[in-house]
Amino acid sequence: MTAMSQPQSPIGQSLLRREDYRFLTGAGQYTDDVVLPFQTYGVFLRSPYAHARIRSIDTSKAAKAPGVVKIFTGTDLADAKVGGLPCGWLIHNKDGSPMKEPPHPVLAQGKVRHVGDQVALVVAETVLQAKDAAELIEVDYQELPAVIDIKSVETAGTGVHDDVPNNVCYDWGHGNKDAVDAAFANAAKVTKLEFTNNRLIPNAMEPRAANAQYTKHDESYTLYVANQNPHVERLLMSAFVLGLPESKVRVISPDVGGGFGSKIFLYPEETALVWASKRVGRPIKWTAERSESFLVDAHGRDHATTAELAMDAQGNFLALRVKTIANMGAYLSTFSTAVPTILYATLLAGQYKTPAIYAEVKAVFTNTAPVDAYRGAGRPEATYVVERVVEQAARDMKMDPTAIRRQNFITEFPYATPVGLTYDTGNYAAHLDKAKDLADVGGFAARKAASQAQGKLRGLGYACYIEACGLAPSNIAGALGARAGLFEAGEVRVHPTGTVTVFTGSHSHGQGHETTFAQVVAAKLGIPVESVEIVHGDTGRVPFGLGTYGSRSIAVGGTAIVKAVDKIIAKGKKIAAHLLEASDTDIVFENGEFKVAGTDKKVPFGSVALTAYVPHNYPLDKLEPGLNENAFYDPTNFTYPAGSYVCEVEVDPETGKTTVEKFTAVDDFGNIINPMIVQGQVHGGVAQGLGQAMMEGCVYDPESGQLLNGSYMDYTMPRADDLPSFTVDHTVTPCTHNPLGVKGCGEAGAIGSPAAFMNALTDALGVRDLAMPATAERVWRAARH
The contact set with other proteins (CB under 8 A) reads: 16-17, 19-30, 32-33, 35, 128, 203-207, 255-258, 260, 287, 289-291, 509-512, 676-677, 679-680, 683-688, 711-713, 717-721, 723, 725-726, 749
* Helix pair angle (428-438, 401-408), 10° resolution: 160
In the complex with other proteins, the residue whose CB is nearer, 21 or 450, is 21
- We find the least distance from the C-beta atom of residue 21 to other proteins, in angstroms, to be 7
- Phi then psi dihedrals of residue 190, to 5 deg: -125, 130
Rounded Cα–Cα distance for residues 88 and 342 (Å): 13
Which CB atom, from 128 or from 416, has the smaller least distance to other proteins? 128
Which is closer to other proteins, CB of 255 or CB of 488? 255
* Nearest CB to other proteins, comparing residues 31 and 167: 31
Closer residue to other proteins (CB): 140 or 289: 289
Query: 402 vs 679, which CB is nearer to other proteins?
Result: 679
> Do the Cβ atoms of 283 and 270 come closer than 8 Å?
no
Q: Looking at the DSSP assignment, which residues form a beta bridge with residue 632?
A: 489
How far apart are the C-alpha atoms of 78 and 272, rounded to whole Å? 12
> Backbone phi, then psi, for 752, in 5-degree steps?
-85, -25
Concatenating the DSSP letter of every residue in 372-426 gives ---TTTTHHHHHHHHHHHHHHHHHHTT--HHHHHHHHB--SSSEE-TTS-EE---
Q: 328: closest CA among 373, 286, 271? A: 373
Q: Using alpha carbons, list the distances in angstroms from residue 326 to 50, 170, 264, 363, 374.
A: 19, 10, 20, 5, 14
Q: Where are the alpha helices (DSSP H) in 596-674?
A: 605-613
Backbone φ, ψ for residue 222 (5° rounding) = -125, 130
Q: How far is the C-alpha of 489 from the C-alpha of 503, rounded, in Å?
A: 8
- Smallest gap from Cβ 256 to other proteins, in A, equals 7
Nearer to other proteins, 33 or 437 (CB): 33
Comparison of 16 and 597: residue with beta carbon closer to other proteins: 16
Can you give the length of the chain in residues?
785
Contact 88, 483 (CB under 8 A): yes
Closest CB to other proteins among 187 and 200?
200
User: Torsion angle of alpha carbons 670, 675, 679, 681, nearest 10°?
Assistant: -80
Nearer to other proteins, 78 or 717 (CB): 717
Nearer to other proteins, 20 or 703 (CB): 20
Q: Which residues pair with 196 in a beta bridge?
A: 304
Of 65 and 256, which CB lies nearer to other proteins in the complex structure?
256
Comparison of 132 and 491: residue with beta carbon closer to other proteins: 132
The DSSP letter of residue 58 is E
- What is the rounded radius of gyration, in angstroms, for the C-alpha atoms of the chain? 27
- Beta carbon of residue 45, minimum distance to other proteins (angstroms, whole number): 18
- Nearest-angstrom CA–CA distance, 778 and 785: 11
Shortest spacing between CB 55 and other proteins, in angstroms: 31
Residue 712 or 777 having the CB closest to other proteins: 712
Rounded-to-integer distance, Cα 536 and Cα 490, Å: 10
Q: How far is the CB of 41 from other proteins (least distance, A)?
A: 11
For residues 72, 76, 82, 85, the Cα torsion angle rounded to the nearest 10 degrees is 50
Burial environment of residue 79 by CB neighbours within 10 A (0 to 12, 13 to 18, 19 or more): exposed
Among 172, 171, 163, 265, which Cα is nearest to 210's? 265
User: Is the CB of 116 or the CB of 315 nearer to other proteins?
Assistant: 116
Q: C-beta of 289: minimal distance to other proteins in Å?
A: 5
Give alpha helix (H) positions in 136-176: none
For residues 28 and 67, which CB has a smaller minimum distance to other proteins in the complex?
28
* Minimum gap (Å) between residue 33 Cβ and other proteins: 4
Minimal distance, residue 10 CB to other proteins, in Å: 16
**Distance of closest approach, residue 70 Cβ to other proteins, in angstroms:** 22
**What is the closest distance, in whole angstroms, from the C-beta atom of residue 130 to other proteins in the complex?**
15
Q: Give CA separation, 229 vs 253, 269, 536, in Å.
A: 8, 16, 10
Smallest separation, CB 552 to other proteins (Å): 17
Between 13 and 176, name the residue whose CB sits nearer to other proteins: 13
Write phi, then psi, for 111 (nearest 5 degrees). Answer: -150, 150
Cβ at position 272, least distance to other proteins in Å: 22
Q: Which residues pair with 358 in a beta bridge?
A: 175, 321
Neighbours of 235 (CB within 10 A): 21
Residue 184's nearest CA partner among 358, 364, 10 is 358
- Closest contact distance (angstroms) between CB of 110 and other proteins is 31
CB of 606 to other proteins, least distance (A): 26
| 3-class DSSP assignment, residue 32 | helix
Please tell me the distance from the alpha carbon of residue 641 to that of residue 666, in angstroms, as a whole number: 11
Tell the smallest beta-carbon distance from residue 238 to other proteins (Å).
Answer: 27
Separation of CA 286 from chain center: 24
| Residue 134 CB, nearest approach to other proteins (Å) | 16
- Cα–Cα distance between 114 and 103 in angstroms, integer? 14
Q: How far apart are CA 463 and CA 770, in angstroms?
A: 16
What are phi and psi for residue 410, nearest 5 degrees?
-70, 130
Contact 466, 350 (CB under 8 A): yes
Q: Backbone phi, then psi, for 231, in 5-degree steps?
A: -70, -40
Nearer to other proteins, 627 or 673 (CB): 673
- One-letter amino acid at 138 equals E
